[in-house]
Amino acid sequence: MKSRVGKTPLQIMAEIIHLRAILQARRRQREQEYLHRCIAAIEQSLRHQVDEFAQAPADEWPVRASKIRKLSELLEYTTGLL
């Protein structure tokens, strides 16, 4: 840790603000990484549901279509956070 001897209160405050900005940037970067992973998982699940829908009997279509719609809405919301 740097010594505060010979520094003005303004210089010390500037160092604290700079550290906060660095920590905030790191946090935003981690959040973006998590968001990208989340989007990939939702996309994979959506593809799986579409494939399953194609193979499903007609009486299951409404339930499967609802799952596809909900995943699509979740994907739209999540990509909007980027």
Per-residue model confidence as pLDDT tens digits over 14-70: 677 788 888 899 999 999 999 999 999 999 999 999 999 999 999 999 999 999 999
- Burial-class residue 49 by CB neighbours within 10 Å (0-12, 13-18, 19+): buried
Domain range summary for the chain, segments of one domain joined by +: 9-80
Please determine, for residue 1, whether its predicted confidence score (pLDDT) is greater than 60. no
Predicted local confidence at residue 51, as pLDDT = 96
Instruction: Check if the beta carbon of residue 42 is closer than 8 Å to that of residue 75.
Output: yes
Rounded CA-CA distance 49/64 in Å is 7
Q: What is the per-residue pLDDT for 77?
A: 96
